[in-house]
Amino acid sequence: MLLGEAGARSVCSDDGLVDVSQRPVLRRPMREHARFLARSPRRAHSAVNSEPGGTDMPKYLIIANYSADGVKGVLAKGGSARKAAVEQGVVQAGGTLESFYFGFGDDDAYVIVDFPDNATAASLGLQVAASGMANARTVVLLTPEEVDRAAQAPNTYVPPGS
């Protein structure tokens, strides 16, 4: 995490303008990662990995939180070993690891992966949960083009009480 700039009295965050005169303001690493991605050259379908041979795989953000025993494991073998173990599991499941970051705060690790389908992503999530060493939330990532298509779809929603 990053601290607010020295001498700054307030910073803008996702929660609005925050006074930092009394305490440091911490920004989550994924925000920094998102800013980096916005500046970097990207494929037309940023949330879809085009594999050689034309196979498109959806992207997922996995947000992990380690149990006390999980943290002990990271301390014993190190962050690079944890990344290597995650990458091995992702590859064995038929996916690819795009990025792996540790972070301070509410969440311990942020991982972006490509998997062939939702079932594969769910399978890895179940395995993580069953280990008891970590909890994970999996977010399906959408490209801007997918959101464009969703926004153009006919509105079929009927609100309750209508």
Proportion of the chain in helix, strand, coil states, percent, rounded to 5: 35, 30, 35
Report pLDDT for 55. Answer: 55
Q: Which domain holds residue 12?
A: 2-39
Q: Please give the Cα distance from 110 to 100 (Å, whole number).
A: 6
Q: What is the pTM for the complete model shown?
A: 0.65
Same domain, 52 and 127: yes
Question: What's the CATH code of the domain at 84?
Answer: 3.30.70.920
Asked whether residue 6 is assigned to any structural domain, the reply reads: yes
Domain count, the chain: 2
Lowest mean pLDDT among 31-35, 67-71, 107-111, 114-118: 31-35
Confidence category of residue 48, pLDDT binned at 50, 70, 90: low
pLDDT tens-digit series, residues 15-42? 444 444 444 433 344 444 444 444 433 3
Same domain, 100 and 123: yes
Same domain, 31 and 59: no
Which among 148, 91, 99, 162 has a CA at the least distance from the CA of 120?
A: 91
Q: State whether residue 15 is helix, strand or coil.
A: coil
Give 54's contacts (C-beta < 8 A, 6+ positions apart): none
The residue among 18 and 49 whose pLDDT is bigger is 49
